[in-house]
Amino acid sequence: MSNGNGNLLVADKVRKEFGGLVATDDVDFTIPRGEVVSLIGPNGAGKTTFFNMLTGVYRPTSGRILFDGEDVTGMPPHAITERG
């Protein structure tokens, strides 16, 4: 599916709620193809929750996640890893 350019990963307005707690609130995050990035922040900032949504461990409450142009929002982890 890769076209060799553009963005490898895009998170668009990704939100995760646990009951009344908002763990991530409308996060936008883009990783351009060929780039190395890091995600930093203080304890409790939502880094692990965000990563768990990217990998399919958690399904976002709202928003979408694109991997190599394909919408992988809410896919199970094994289906996401099959894509690369």
Return the CATH fold of 7-81. Rossmann fold (3.40.50)
Predicted TM-score (pTM) above 0.75: yes
What does the pLDDT look like over 26-61, one tens digit per residue?
Answer: 999 999 999 999 999 999 999 999 999 999 999 999
- pLDDT at residue 51, rounded to an integer: 96
pLDDT of residue 3: 53
Contacts of 2 (CB under 8 A, 6+ apart): 33, 68
d(CA 17, CA 30): 21
Residue type, 36: V
At 2, the pLDDT band (50, 70, 90 cuts) reads low
73-81, long-range: CB within 8 Å, 24+ apart, which pairs? Answer: 80/55, 80/56, 81/55
Across the range 8-35, mean pLDDT stands at 96
Task: Map out the domains of the chain as residue ranges.
Answer: 7-81
